Structure 1
Amino acid sequence: MGLQGQIIPYKNGEKEEDDDERAGKEISPFPPPPLHSKFAVVGYALTSKKIKSFLKPKLEGLARNKGILFVAIDQNRPLSDQGPFDIVLHKLTGKEWRQILESACTFPHYEPHDMIVEDYRRTHPEVTVLDPPDAIQHLHNRQSMLQCVADMNLSNSYGKVGIPKQIVIKKDASSIPGAVAKAGLMLPIVAKPLVADGSAKSHELSLAYDQQSLKKLEPPLVLQEFVNHGGVMFKVYIVGETIKVVRRFSLPDVCKRELSNIAGVFRFPRVSCAAASADNADLDPGVAELPPRPLLEKLARELCRRLGLRLFNLDIIREHGTRDRFYVIDINYFPGYGKMPEYEHIFTDFLLSLVQNQYKKKST
């Protein structure tokens, strides 16, 4: 298997086309947008940082050529006064935004309680929201985000996927050494903020090497047992029914001899980023080999179902010295797709598939 990132459309198992091949095609593989509009309209409510990293000119140009128009949502106006939208794409936090969405759009198990909302449902039943706020909120807590993976206990002939042994400390740093010993966690310990809201602080992590240093950590935290993984992690991007895997450099392994000579807490503002790509690095094949395709297909499918999400990524590591023991260490909603190779084609094809599904439902 080569060392380049892999695209896996796990619906049918076929390999994604090369970027050069697709760029030369003028005809979309999907039928045209619904007849009521020249364009499929995607309303977006994103932070300025996300707009800059995601809505790049190449994406918007390709989308327009395929019949997709991105339109900014004005958060100071009712959603019912805007659009109409075929798709609402969002990554905002806060009660105000959730109320705007929930007052205008239909979600599973959500029942409106006033005539204005009921009228919007009747007038715009076709809108697809990516994704339901309650489902996104589930990933804002590192205690709950990995529970789905733990509950799956995924294991087949291609490998086993779990999560590192972990505990949650909500307050009182002085209790951490006792809690770690009681839970049987081995040093070193990875400490991550309990809240994972996409902010810079939520991406910070610390590595504590000794018992005394554990008291220096600042709750609320999730404490994970560090797993040696050859200094490489796999970022698994999921966009609907397509996944793409890339390698990123990660924290180096820690041997027992080092552990006996190192003390203290080491802080890392952000471990993985696009600049730390390991796809073209000269790596040990046992470290660089991507997780087996069938294992990732099953994991992605099941997590999409359990989480109720279609836009997220997984940080996965392989236990060093094994070929088939994997751990999910983080899940992020609407991650930095701008860092994912070929994201423009993958994302626009995904949006077109959603619009076409809407069109089919209205035609039946």
Structure 2
Amino acid sequence: MKPAYIYSDELLNYRFNDSHPFNQMRVKMTTDLLLDGGYLSAGDIIRPRTASDEEILLVHKEDYVQAVKDAGTVGLSDSKLESYGLNTDDTPAFNDMHEKSKYIVGATLTAVDMVMSGKTKKALNLSGGLHHGFSGRANGFCVYNDSAVAIEYMRKHYNQKVLYVDTDAHHGDGVQWIFYDSNEVMTYSVHETGRYLFPGTGSLTERGDDKGFGFSVNLPVDAYTEDDSFLEIFEESLTKAVKHFKPDVILSQNGVDAHYRDPMTHLSLTSKSFEEIPRIVNRLSDLYTDGKWIAVGGGGYNIFQVVPRMWAQVWLSMNNIKAPRGKLPEHFIDTYQSRSKTEFPLNWEDDLSDFTEIPRREEITEKNRSMFDRAMMYLDNI
């Protein structure tokens, strides 16, 4: 069964304003890159459905959903907007916000239904991954939390144990807190330490509550962490988490803002990591979940130099295609190079001429390994 690629141009309408860093044009650029490279065909693309209000309410509070509807149509007072997180610089209200947001959720649910119905074992919705959304409040560019809705949907309709894997540079806080007291969902997040970065959470000691104690796994890596340290921690810890939890399905959030060229974070990963991360998840899904893997997008704010090439690796890994080398497709370069205000990449792999060596590499690696050892002790005690 071929993997399913969930996409429609309508998904690009989730947009706060023209100057906002969250720009879903990156989804179209990734799709165009894969099409131009011959790695994606029209037959692979599945048009998404929209989520119903009932599905949104699986994790979001009714008063919040109503506030999102009103904020995007008739408007709300400043105090009401503030109480629901809809008037911040990060997450301001925009027209038809409810309809545009639930289409993102519906795209992730389309991927879920494709996998759960047996039509495919792997499905990708790069427009999703809005992991900061809380049950009753918008947060961090995220209105509705599509991953959390999808997880609860799989629990309710398909009786699945879900392992949520988050490799965004920012902690997957919204998903974690929604399932913090559940032992039927394990949330796993490897991210830049909250000492320096939004949302400031994701410490080792956030391990879950009540029945969910031990089922929240956090690995906060130090600022300026590079490929080798990140990949070592990721592969070892995720393998252990899968073996301990024994999930039925993996849902992964694939933010690429840990790249060294991303303007909003302080990690130092290159294309090497983003080639390997989805291949590790793919391999573990084949070994432990009968291949069932649903992937979504997430962060990534350098949309010309970074996101399309890095996100393309998720689809390539689902199809067991080695990471390409050499020049990007000419048509893709011709289409987008003139639009970029920075030097446009010409090859699939990074040109590391602008990569700055980190003098504290040994110290950072040692700190990450110490953090990893503590996290694995916690995992052993589930």
Structure of greater relative contact order (alpha carbons < 8 Å, 6+ residues apart): 1
What TM-score do the two structures reach when normalised by structure 1? 0.26
In terms of fraction of residues, the more strand-rich structure is 1
In terms of fraction of residues, the more helix-rich structure is 2
What TM-score do the two structures reach when normalised by structure 2? 0.25
